[in-house]
């Protein structure tokens, strides 16, 4: 611990925060956690529905693209658009999982 850290710790010990400030920060923290848990619960409830729809749509569109776009070679089939749609549906699901992970991780000050 260097000198600056020691001075910061000493200043924090010398001046305690007022009770109103501590109460306001506690109420804000509890409200923030309630919103975070509510969002997390909604995202968890919707995840199986999205997984059951987006993953099969991506797989089936990929198979249709392979079959009609590349194997049969239909001249008017939008093969690159269908391939982009397939990858896009997977990316939407991955973004949803990333959003879930944002709400599910605790704040860095409370990891121990």
Has residue 25 got a pLDDT over 70?
yes
From CA 51, how far away is CA 17, in angstroms rounded?
Answer: 48
pLDDT of residue 102: 86
The model's pTM:
0.69
- 44-101: pLDDT as tens digits: 999 999 999 999 999 999 999 999 988 888 888 898 999 999 999 999 999 999 999 8
Domain count, the chain: 1
65 exposure class (CB count in 10 Å sphere: 0-12, 13-18, 19+): buried
Residue ranges making up the domain that contains 53: 3-110
Query: Is pLDDT larger for residue 57 or for residue 17?
Result: 57
């Amino acid at each position: 611990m260097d000198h600056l850290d020691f001075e910061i710790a000493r200043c924090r010990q010398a001046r305690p925060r007022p009770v109103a400030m501590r109460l306001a920060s506690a109420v804000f923290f509890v409200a923030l956690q309630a919103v975070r848990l509510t969002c997390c619960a909604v995202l968890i409830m919707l995840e199986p529905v999205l997984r059951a729809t987006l993953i099969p749509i991506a797989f089936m569109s990929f198979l249709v693209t392979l079959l009609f776009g590349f194997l049969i070679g239909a001249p008017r089939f939008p093969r690159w658009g269908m391939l982009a749609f397939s990858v896009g549906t997977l990316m939407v699901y991955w973004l949803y999982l990333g959003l879930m992970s944002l709400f599910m991780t605790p704040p860095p000050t409370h990891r121990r």
